Amino acid sequence: MEKSESIKNIAEAMSKFQSEMEAITKDATNPFFKSKYASLSAIIEDTRAPLGKNGLSYAQFPKGESELTTILMHKTGEWMSETYLMKPVDQKPQSVGSAMTYMRRYALCAVLGLQVDDDDGNGASGKASKGPGKVIHVPLEPGEEIDTIQVLGTDTDEPAKPVAKPWKKPTANEQKATIMKLVDGIVMNPLPKTKEAYEGYVLEQTGLILTAGNYEQIIERLSALQKHETVG
């Protein structure tokens, strides 16, 4: 990380900004996991006023072929910056634009210390609202994500009961199969059917190692690249 000689004022401003900043609403949907995530537009819109209130601003610049530099600035002239690298699947405008959007979103969340929460934080408690046909968020098994299901409420104090089977997160093997299918659908020339070939391709195009802990992010990035490739 690079920074100005002093970051006293920017550190104080960031402390105030983070204490005032609420969770970013997830406004976009991952079709593979039926889960929500915060788009770049939502992050920019939700942080604009809190940043300005505390004398903070930022700028993001493409650098080289596949890099992005994000600079966080304070009205006193203090600043901090870092550069992030992500290689697109190819150099077509659609692929480069997709990779740049991902980099901008991830960089802003990291630099600003943002918490990206589900779109109804109150639903995480698993408590249903009264009234018929309410849609709430309920926790699944321990360690799994929160999902949205339809519930039937009442006008009494009895807890609402789910009337739809909650979605289950895909297994690691299912996620890996999805990744291989996405890769096969993107590459022009078929890859050798070896673990090393797929690992190398995934690392080159997403910047992530092909391990179970990265499967969800890999699928999200490859899905976006495939979408732009198809549209293009």
Please state, in angstroms and rounded to a whole number, the distance separating the CA atoms of residues 55 and 122: 31
Cα separation, 232 vs 223, whole angstroms = 14
CB 172 within 8 A of CB 179: no
Kindly report, residue by residue over 7-29, the tens digit of the pLDDT.
Answer: 999 999 999 999 988 877 776 66
pLDDT in tens, 176-201: 888 888 888 888 777 888 888 888 88
DSSP label at residue 89: S
Give me the phi and psi of 9, to 5 degrees please: -70, -40
For the chain, what are the domain ranges? 2-117, 121-162, 172-231
What is the arithmetic mean of pLDDT over 153-166?
45
Q: Summarize pLDDT for 50-79 with one digit per residue, the tens.
A: 999 999 999 999 888 888 999 999 999 999
Mean pLDDT of the chain: 75
Question: Whole-prediction pTM value?
Answer: 0.49
User: What is the pLDDT confidence band of residue 32, given thresholds at 50, 70 and 90?
Assistant: low
